[in-house]
Amino acid sequence: PKEIFLKDYKQPDYFFDNVYLKFTLGEEKTIVSSKIVVSPRLEGSISPLVLDGVDLKLISLHVNGKELKNDDFRVDSRHLTLTSPPIEKFTLEIVTEICTQTNTSLEGLYKSSGNFCTECEAEGFRKITFYQDRPDIMAKYTCRIEADKSLYPVLLSNGNLIEQGDLEGGKHYVIWEDPHVKPCYLFALVAGQLESRDDTFVTRSGRKVALRIWAPAQDLPKTAHAMQNLKNGPVTLDTVFGLEYDLDLFNIVAIPDYLGAMENKSLNIFNSNLVLASPETATDVDYAAILGAIGHEYAHNWTGNRVTCRDWFQLSLKEGLTVFRDQEFSSDMGSRTVKRISDVSKLRIYQFPQDAGPMAHSVRPHSYIKGAEVVRMYKTLLGTSGFRKGMDLYFKRHDGQAVTCEDFFAAMRDANGADFSNFLLWYSQAGTPRLKVTSTYNAEAKTYSLKFKQEVPATPGQPVKEPMFIPVALGLLGSNGNDIPINSAYHDGKLEIITSNGQPGHTTILRVTKKEEEFVFNDIPERPVPSILRGYSAPVRMDSDLTDADLYFLLANDCDEFNRWEAGQILARKLMLSLVSDFQQNKSLVLNQKFLHGVKSILGDSSLDKEFIAKAITLPGEGEIMDTMEVADPDAVHSVRSFILKQLASELKQEFINTVKSNRSSEPYEFDHQNLARRALKNIALAYLGTLEDEAITELALHEYRTATNLTEQFAALVALDQIPGKIRDEVLADFYDKWQHDFLIRSDDIISYHIK
Ligand code: DPP
Ligand code: ZN
């Protein structure tokens, strides 16, 4: 197929109003009959109607009840074209045969572990029947399914179940009707031997919604956590934007072999590992992933389903916004800072290297995580209530429509009368902007200046870049560690009144939009330490002239926890790089005492959240360090990282042992913030201790392994023991293997990363 460009978008010549589908599911072949009510966009004008279709066998074709003759249509391997369809509203009936048994593309309708299921995003529906397979065709669907009753007792599709009954020959049927218009990529069908866990939740307006999680019978006990998330999720997600679930039934299906998850209208489908969990087989990380995935797919009901994408170049319209919404949802359930740290780490590990390589592409068409950062920047610029106003206007204008990233931008701008200058560049310009910041303090004038210089590196196809609109969240810390109030500044020579965005402290949002610009803050009584890009307010790479002393000061004092963590990471990176250079010159390695004390004081600070402490005392990964080197030296980086870990472990041995002991619990596993924070801290302490070859530590880790009531703690103990060669290690590894070798939910990635070490 030839490449498609955004600029070539054309409105469809025909709209589909209603679609009636009938599936006769069979072992050899499945028959799909569709009856579509078609409206020409411009009544009276003739243009061919081109339908997409791949791997389909056309059985019959009728227009307004009359069979079409051969010269009225053409079929090739990708399309069915009606050369001169009626010029007024008409019905089109198509019968096709599909072979689900040989469909191994994981698109369209296919068999998976004995069940029928569908995946239609982005262009899978064309493998089910001939259709205008594009998201701007939004129609109401009714779906009848017929199948063998004993093989496929459960038959599901979108919307409400309006009829069901038995048929001759051991077959049965159901009819599902979805009252909401939708694009065909949100169509879904599932048929198989599944059982459900049932519950309900009540919407904001007091309507009761039935919740069902479907899975193979043996998996049902492991759906309790997902159901809990589902029950809590809708309430939380709804209240934030005043939205409400719009049907009386919400189905989730969890099946093995499914690729990820899919937000089909009222029938979300997930790979089992994004739904099933039990304390013995899932870690806290897995539990959090399930929370995020359930929240994400549910959130799509409004951001993606009710308002969808005009074309696939707009993918980040729904994905960026929905990733942002699930991030916010998970933040509200746990620690906001820690969630932000994890999301930013993901962005840096996965997105930034891609941005810098031959695969660099802009947020549009398909960057999920950077798309979420763009949505977050709207919120940073507009504040919570301004962002809400923008969302309200977006839904008011576009409910039931297929729209573009510009429409979202316009809603945010218009609802707030905002000046967003060149903000739209975030969607089209690829690459990670580099922001250089330099500072000067003028003691006589009591002014403090920050100069920003930005550069967006060239990427394939985009050699020359424009400067971007970068919201910089800023605090200026005085020597007492508190923020100095910021009232006004000269911005490129003009006096600007800078107002805080209402967040705690005095966080100010600077609008950095030019290649080079300067802000000079007035009435600053002493040289401050700047906390720049608080909460990581824009997805850029920043270099600043902060000294080590400044960074230690931020690490100890910044009211923005994200930047406290960031300061610690920058210090750790600097330390690691300087030790790498010592290592390369065969110098003996010595640990900086200031760094040791920094770690010690964070570890001992009982005012801090435990999960935050665990993040803050985790050293940057080897990959992250190599990413910043001209020539990567894996051996040096590994040796240096191991050296620091071991030094910290031996210097802080007693503190780490106390941390392990004081964070034990014999209570049954709970996935709540308090407990997962406790486990995170205990496990990092154990990981440090595991670097010491010490009998007492082996005993301690073995004790943790044996008494663990959950995989999170047991696995951490296993990893600690794995670092200490000997009989105990071999026995424990064999024990773990024997216990879990047959359970696919013990995540293969955990095991693989473990075996590679
Ligand atoms: N649209 C899907 C999702 O959001 C992509 N697999 O999860
Ligand atoms: Zn999504």
pLDDT tens figures, 383-396: 999 999 999 999 99
Please give the pLDDT value at position 499: 65
Range with the lowest mean pLDDT among 38-47, 358-367, 612-621? 358-367
Query: Positive or negative CA dihedral for 733, 734, 738, 739?
Result: negative
Q: How far is the CA of 264 from the centre of ligand 1 (A)?
A: 9
Please give the pLDDT value at position 378: 98
Q: What is the pTM of this model?
A: 0.96
Q: How many CA atoms lie within 13 A of 301 on its CB side?
A: 25
Query: Does the ipTM exceed 0.90?
Result: yes
Please give the pLDDT value at position 505: 55
Q: How far is the CA of 186 from the centre of ligand 2 (A)?
A: 12
Please give the pLDDT value at position 753: 44
Name the residue with the closest Cα to ligand 1, atom 2: 262
Residues 91 and 182 placed together within one structural domain of the fold: yes
Query: Positive or negative CA dihedral for 602, 604, 606, 609?
Result: positive
Domain of 111, CATH number, reads: 2.60.40.1730
Task: Determine, yes or no, domain membership for 263.
Answer: no
Closest ligand relative to 183 C-alpha: 1
Best residue among 297, 298, 312 to mutate for probing ligand 1's pocket (most ligand atoms within 8 Å of CB) is: 297
C-alpha distances (whole Å) from 45 to each of 14, 476, 617, 713 are 11, 65, 69, 69
747 pLDDT tier (thresholds 50, 70, 90): low
Mean pLDDT (whole number) for 575-582: 98
Residues 438 and 421 placed together within one structural domain of the fold: no
Residue 214 pLDDT greater than 50, yes or no: yes
146 in contact with ligand 1, CB cutoff 6 A: no
Name the residue with the closest Cα to ligand 1, atom 1: 262
Q: CB-based burial of residue 47 (10 Å sphere; 0-12 exposed, 13-18 middle, 19+ buried)? A: middle
121 in contact with ligand 1, CB cutoff 6 A: yes
Mean pLDDT (whole number) for 644-658: 98
Please give the pLDDT value at position 1: 65
Closest ligand relative to 322 C-alpha: 2
Range with the lowest mean pLDDT among 32-41, 205-214, 398-407, 491-500? 491-500
8 Å CB contact between 59 and 31: yes
Please give the pLDDT value at position 357: 86
Residues 677 and 656 placed together within one structural domain of the fold: yes
Active site residue 297: yes
R_g of the chain, CA atoms, integer Å: 29
Does the N-terminal peptide bond of residue 122 adopt cis geometry, omega within 30 degrees of 0?
Answer: yes
Mean pLDDT (whole number) for 102-121: 95
Mean pLDDT (whole number) for 708-734: 93
Residue (of 250, 229, 341) closest to 296 by Cα position: 229
Please give the pLDDT value at position 364: 81
> Residue 581, Cβ neighbours under 10 Å: how many?
14
593-603 and 653-662 helices, crossing angle to 10°: 20
Alpha helices for 356-445 (secondary structure H): 368-398, 405-416, 425-428
Residues 491 and 592 placed together within one structural domain of the fold: no
Q: How many Å apart are CA 360 and CA 380, to the nearest integer?
A: 25
Best residue among 185, 186, 253, 262 to mutate for probing ligand 1's pocket (most ligand atoms within 8 Å of CB) is: 262
In which domain, by residue range, is 680 found? 573-756
Closest ligand relative to 324 C-alpha: 2
Residues 383 and 491 placed together within one structural domain of the fold: no
Residue 85 pLDDT greater than 90, yes or no: yes
Please give the pLDDT value at position 624: 87
Backbone angles phi, psi at 121, to 5 degrees: -85, 135
Alpha helices for 537-560 (secondary structure H): 548-557
Closest ligand relative to 106 C-alpha: 1
Q: How far is the CA of 85 from the centre of ligand 2 (A)?
A: 36
500 pLDDT tier (thresholds 50, 70, 90): low
8 Å CB contact between 402 and 310: yes
Residue 503 pLDDT greater than 80, yes or no: no
Backbone angles phi, psi at 280, to 5 degrees: -80, -25
pLDDT tens string 223-274: 999 999 999 888 888 889 999 999 999 999 999 989 999 999 999 999 999 9
Task: Determine, yes or no, domain membership for 276.
Answer: no
Residues 352 and 443 placed together within one structural domain of the fold: no
Please give the pLDDT value at position 749: 54
Mean pLDDT (whole number) for 542-549: 97
Closest approach atom of ligand 1 to CA 293: 7
Q: What is the largest CA-CA distance in the chain?
A: 95
Domain of 537, CATH number, reads: 2.60.40.1840
326 in contact with ligand 1, CB cutoff 6 A: no
Residues 412 and 339 placed together within one structural domain of the fold: yes
Q: How far is the CA of 262 from the centre of ligand 1 (A)?
A: 5
260 in contact with ligand 1, CB cutoff 6 A: yes
Residues 140 and 112 placed together within one structural domain of the fold: yes
Q: How many domains does the chain have?
A: 4
Name the residue with the closest Cα to ligand 1, atom 5: 262
Residue of 93, 297, 561, 704 marked catalytic: 297
Output the CA torsion 32→33→39→41 (10° steps). 20
Backbone angles phi, psi at 198, to 5 degrees: -115, 145
Choosing from 174, 193, 212, the residue where a domain stops is 193
Please give the pLDDT value at position 257: 87
Closest approach atom of ligand 1 to CA 368: 4
Closest approach atom of ligand 1 to CA 121: 1
Residue 511 pLDDT greater than 80, yes or no: yes
Please give the pLDDT value at position 66: 98
Q: How many Å apart are CA 16 and CA 502, to the nearest integer?
A: 47
Q: How many Å apart are CA 719 and CA 240, to the nearest integer?
A: 40
Helix (H) or strand (E) holding 519: strand 516-521
Name the residue with the closest Cα to ligand 1, atom 3: 262
Residue (of 552, 622, 654, 624) closest to 593 by Cα position: 552
Please give the pLDDT value at position 754: 40
Q: How far is the CA of 293 from the centre of ligand 1 (A)?
A: 9
Q: How many Å apart are CA 270 and CA 254, to the nearest integer?
A: 5
Can you tell me which residue has the tokens 């041995």? 653
Task: Determine, yes or no, domain membership for 714.
Answer: yes
Range with the lowest mean pLDDT among 357-371, 598-612, 715-729? 357-371
Q: How far is the CA of 521 from the centre of ligand 1 (A)?
A: 45
53 pLDDT tier (thresholds 50, 70, 90): very high
